[in-house]
Amino acid sequence: MIIENAIEYVKQIFANDCSGHDYHHTMRVYRLTVQIAKQENADMLIVQLAALLHDVDDAKLSPETYATKKNAIDFMESNGVDNKMIEIVCKIIAEVSFVGTDSVVPSTIEGKCVQDADRLDAMGAIGIARTFAYGGSKGRKIYDPEIKPLVNMSKEEYRQNQNSTSINHFYEKLLLLKDMMNTETAKRMAEHRQAVMEAYLEEFMTEWEGEW
């Protein structure tokens, strides 16, 4: 019952999101997490809750609750989750995000499954679509050859990098994710998604230059 409640909860929270962090993103991460967790013998309830709640206190989407994880905690408390489980899930949520060179490797297999699933959804055809949706929601340019990608950014630099472009985001984050996967299951899944992005960027640059 708690999983059904969590699904309804995130559906309400992200009902009006157009930044690529909508309800459907959460559900894709949830399904990927379950798929990876089965292969990695992770605790299913922990990964299900963490996957469903991973964005409800995201720094980009809910900065006022990011530090306290208030939305996730309030939901779990109201659904009778014990304090130990709440602590475990909140730790996973805190570790999941990509923040440049300050990104962390989760301390548990459950955290690794959720982080891998979230990163997989930032890759491939869906990842391409989400990149431009997010960029448009933030008023970013699609591409500007004069604005170069920034690499090896710290957490603060990554979050304050407002003058980037959507194409730069591939080089600043998305193309780095394949080699940051934690589980063997996700590493295999990332290979194809990486190839999709690389092919897309090659085509984009060909068309940008008007070559064909």
Q: What is the pLDDT of residues 102-129, one digit of tens each?
A: 899 999 999 999 999 999 999 999 999 9
Pair 205, 199: CB distance under 8 Å: no
Alpha helices in 41-165 (DSSP H): 44-53, 70-78, 83-95, 109-120, 124-137, 155-159
Enumerate residues 6+ apart whose C-beta is below 8 A from 78. Answer: none
End-to-end CA distance of the chain: 54
- Give the number of C-alpha atoms closer than 13 A to the C-alpha of residue 83, restricted to the C-beta side: 0
Q: Is pLDDT of 161 > 80?
A: no
| Contact of 36 with 113, CB cutoff 8 Å | yes
Contacts of 203 (CB under 8 A, 6+ apart): none
What one-character DSSP code corresponds to residue 165? B
Where is average pLDDT lowest: 27-36, 40-49, 106-115, 202-211?
202-211
Residue 154 in this model has a pLDDT that exceeds 90: no
Q: Report pLDDT for 197.
A: 98
Closest CA to 159 of 91, 53, 61: 61
Residues forming beta bridges with residue 165, ordered by sequence position: 141
Q: What is the per-residue pLDDT for 48? A: 98
Fold of the 2-208 domain? Hypothetical protein af1432 (1.10.3210)
CA–CA separation, 121 vs 21, rounded Å? 10
d(CA 55, CA 10): 9
Q: Is the pLDDT of residue 176 over 90?
A: yes
Identify the pLDDT of residue 168: 96
